[in-house]
Structure 1
C-alpha cells in the first residue's frame, strides 16, 4: 500500500505542476500578446523573411499583436477560397488594384478612412472607390525600363534592340507565369499610343481588337523573336527572378532586359554595372512627344475590421515604418535615397508631381481578364500567327465583365 500511495502522490504532484504550468503559460501568453491579426500575401522565401524581419517584427514588438502571416504564390486562388468559405484573412497584401477593386465592388473590403492620410499619395496609388479609400501601397516599383550594361550608351542600346538575340526573356512565375510578357505588351502600347488610349484599354473601354492594341503585340513579337522555337522554349521555362543564373540559364550573352526596378539589385546587373533607359528609347514607333511610366505596387487592404487589422494598416502606412523597397508615400523625405543616385532617380519618378504614371494594366484588370492575358502572351510567343484568335478570346472575356468590375482610371500625374 505504501508504494501505491507514493505513486498516487507523485501523480498528484505532476498534475498539480501541469495545472500550474498551464495557468502560468496562459498568464504569460496574455501578457505577451494583446491580440492577433491574420495576413495573406504573395511574398515567400527571402521576400517573406524580409517582410517578417523588417515590417512585421517591429509591429509585433511595438503593439504586442501577434501576426499570423501566410505567403502564397497562388494568392488569388487562396483568397478566393477563403472568402467563399467565410474565413477571409484580416488583411491581404496583393500586387495591383484590379483584384482588390473587384472585392471592393462586392462589398468585401473595409474602408480605411482615418487610418492614413490619402493626401500623402498620388490618387493613382490610393483612389477613392465607393466613397472611400480601400487600400494603401506597401511597396511600389517602376517599370517602362530597359536595362543594359553600363559600358553601353543609350544610343548603342537602342541600336542593338532591333536584334531579338539581344533580349533576355523569362516568363516562368508559378501561378502567374506570363506577366513579364504582359508587361512588354502594355509598355509598347503605352509608348506608341499614349496614356489616354492605354487608360481606356486598361479600364475595359477599348477592345482588344483595336489596331493600336494589335500593333503593340506585333511590335513586341518582332522585337523579341516570337515564334523562334529555341528562344521561346528557354523563355517559357526560365524563372523571371534570375534568368541569368541556375544550371541552365536562359540568358547568357544577351545585353538587354525589359524589367522593373527590382532587377538592379540582382547579381547579373550588379556585375554589369547595369543602367536603364526609358523604354520609349528602344520601342519602334514610340511617341517622342510624351513620357509616361508604367508602375506596379503591393497594396494592403482590410477584409475584417478588427483592432489588430486597423493597427497593422496604420503601421504599413506610417512613413517611419521600415520599407521593403520604394515607397509612394510623399511624406517620406526624398533625401533617404541620396546615397544611391540611381535609387534617387527612380524615387523621383515614382513620387514626383507632374510625372504621368500608369498602373501595370494586367494588375489593374479584373482577375479573369488578367489571367487570360497571361495565357495569351505565352501562346503568342510560341506561335504569333495565332494572334487574331488570341485577341478574339481576350475580347470575349472583356465583354463578359461589367463596368463595376473595372477601375475607373489607371493613370495619373498628381
Structure 2
C-alpha cells in the first residue's frame, strides 16, 4: 500500500473512532439513574419553556428523566389515572382545592423536609390532613383592573360604571366561567372584607347570604349581565387573548379585570397597560383595608420515590428558574426589579403584612368549584334567575359539607 493509501486508512480509522466515541458519549448521556412522571396543565409555549428552563436543568443535574404530560383537562386526566391505580409521581395543579381533596383521601404524600415552609406565608402551603402536602411553584396576583397607561386612575373609576368599557371573556374549555367567578369573589372580598370572604370560601357561609348575593348583583350591574349581544360575545371569547384574532371579542373596551399574567399580552403591552386595585372601581368597596386575591400552581407528590422527592426539592429551590412570579421569599427580589410594575406585583405577592386570599373557586372542593363556574355563565345570560342559581349552589354546599374544605384561605404572614 502506498503512503497516500496508508494516510487515507489512518484518517478513516480516526474518524471511525471519533464517531464511535460520540455515539458512546450520547449513549452514556442517556443512561438515566431514574425517572419521574409529572402531570401539569402547561401546554404549547408554556410547556416548552417549562421543559427548557426547569426540567432540563433538573435532568442534567440529577440524571433523572422527567416524563412530562401536559393537559388542559388536567383534573380529568388525574382523576382517571388515580382511579386506574397509575397516578403520576408528581402533579402541578392550579389552586389547592383539588389537592386538599386528594390529601383528605390519603392520596398525597407529605412533603416534610423537602422545602422550607418558612419561605412562604402559611396560606400558600398550609397543613392539611395532618401535614403539608404541596408547595407553590408559580404565583399570580389578582384583584387587578387593567387600563391603558395614558388613562388616569381617577378616570378608570368613572368609566368603570359603563358596562361597554369592560372586556369580558369567559371561555376556557373545561373550566369555562372562571373569569366570572373571579369577579364575584373579588367583589365579595372588597365589599365584605377578608373575614367574610374566608368564611364563604371555606364552606362556612351560605351562598344565600346577603353579602354573597350583593356581590353577584354588583358584578352583573358592572358588566351588563343580561345584555344578549354582549353576553353571547363574552361566553364565546377565550380568556387568553380576547383582543386578538380576525374577529376579536374586545376592541374599544378600555378595562379588563384579570390577573397579572396579562401584563405581557400583546394588547396590554401595546397600550402600556397599568393596573388599579379592584376596590377603586367596585361600588360599596371597603376603603379601610386592602386585600388581594391570589392564585398559584402547586406541586404535590402522589408517589414517594427518590425521583419524586428530588423533583419537589428542585421545584421549591429558590435557585430554580422562575416561570413567572413566585411566593417563595428566598428568591432574590432582584429577579423582579426589571421595571416598577413587576417589582410592585412581586412585593404584593411576597411582602409581610399584605392580606392575600386564595381565589375562592380554586380553593373549594372540585364539585363546588365546577358548579360555581357554571353558575357564573348562567347568571351572566339570565341575571333574573340569580335566586335559583344561589339555591342550587347552597344545596351543593350542604351536600359537600363533609368534603375537604380548607381551614383558611387568607393570610398576611
Q: With structure 2 as the length reference, what TM-score do the two structures score? A: 0.93
Q: Where does residue 4 of structure 1 map in the other structure?
A: none
Q: How does 1:249-398 map to 2 (within 5 A)?
A: 249-398=248-397
**Alignment deviations for residues 160-195 of structure 1 (CA, whole Å, 9 cap, x no partner):** 000000000000111001100000000000000000
In structure 2, what is the Cα distance between the partners aligned to 1:406 and 1:130?
A: 11
Q: Where does residue 139 of structure 1 map in the other structure?
A: 138
**Alignment deviations for residues 27-47 of structure 1 (CA, whole Å, 9 cap, x no partner):** 936862111110111111111
What secondary structure does 2:35 align onto?
A: strand
Q: Where does residue 233 of structure 1 map in the other structure?
A: 232
**Alignment deviations for residues 116-159 of structure 1 (CA, whole Å, 9 cap, x no partner):** 00110000001112222100001000000000001111110000
Q: Where does residue 408 of structure 2 map in the other structure?
A: 409
Distance 1:168 1:31, change over 3 A: closer
Q: Where does residue 13 of structure 1 map in the other structure?
A: none
Q: Where does residue 192 of structure 1 map in the other structure?
A: 191
Q: CA deviation at 1:333?
A: 1.6
In structure 1, what is the Cα distance between the partners aligned to 2:133 and 2:108?
A: 6
Q: Where does residue 115 of structure 2 map in the other structure?
A: 116
Q: Where does residue 210 of structure 2 map in the other structure?
A: 211
Q: CA deviation at 1:403?
A: 4.0
Distance 1:380 1:404, change over 3 A: closer
Aligned length: 392
In structure 2, what is the Cα distance between the partners aligned to 1:48 and 1:184?
A: 28
In structure 2, what is the Cα distance between the partners aligned to 1:34 and 1:278?
A: 49
Q: How does 1:2-17 map to 2 (within 5 A)?
A: none
Q: Where does residue 36 of structure 1 map in the other structure?
A: 35
Q: How does 1:146-157 map to 2 (within 5 A)?
A: 146-157=145-156
What secondary structure does 2:300 align onto?
A: strand
In structure 1, what is the Cα distance between the partners aligned to 2:28 and 2:70?
A: 25
Gaps of 5+ in 1: 1-20
Instruction: Check whether the contact 2:164–2:223 (CA below 8 A) recurs between aligned residues.
Output: yes
What secondary structure does 1:262 align onto?
A: helix
In structure 2, what is the Cα distance between the partners aligned to 1:64 and 1:172?
A: 40
Q: CA deviation at 1:323?
A: 0.6
In structure 2, what is the Cα distance between the partners aligned to 1:123 and 1:403?
A: 23
What secondary structure does 1:70 align onto?
A: strand
- CA RMSD for the aligned pairs? 1.5
**Alignment deviations for residues 296-331 of structure 1 (CA, whole Å, 9 cap, x no partner):** 000000000011100000000000000100011111
Instruction: Check whether the contact 2:163–2:222 (CA below 8 A) recurs between aligned residues.
Output: yes
What secondary structure does 1:284 align onto?
A: coil
In structure 2, what is the Cα distance between the partners aligned to 1:141 and 1:277?
A: 15
What secondary structure does 2:294 align onto?
A: strand
Q: Where does residue 88 of structure 1 map in the other structure?
A: 87
What secondary structure does 1:113 align onto?
A: coil
1:103 aligns with 2:102: yes
Q: Where does residue 177 of structure 2 map in the other structure?
A: 178
In structure 2, what is the Cα distance between the partners aligned to 1:134 and 1:125?
A: 11
Instruction: Check whether the contact 2:142–2:295 (CA below 8 A) recurs between aligned residues.
Output: yes
Instruction: Check whether the contact 2:365–2:403 (CA below 8 A) recurs between aligned residues.
Output: no
In structure 1, what is the Cα distance between the partners aligned to 2:139 and 2:195?
A: 22
Gaps of 5+ in 2: 1-19
Q: Where does residue 5 of structure 1 map in the other structure?
A: none
In structure 2, what is the Cα distance between the partners aligned to 1:207 and 1:319?
A: 40
What secondary structure does 2:167 align onto?
A: coil
In structure 1, what is the Cα distance between the partners aligned to 2:83 and 2:403?
A: 20
Q: Where does residue 161 of structure 2 map in the other structure?
A: 162
Q: CA deviation at 1:338?
A: 1.6
In structure 1, what is the Cα distance between the partners aligned to 2:303 and 2:273?
A: 43
In structure 1, what is the Cα distance between the partners aligned to 2:115 and 2:100?
A: 19
What secondary structure does 2:245 align onto?
A: coil
What secondary structure does 1:322 align onto?
A: coil
In structure 1, what is the Cα distance between the partners aligned to 2:52 and 2:378?
A: 39
Distance 1:226 1:31, change over 3 A: closer
Q: Which deviates more, 198-207 or 393-402? A: 393-402
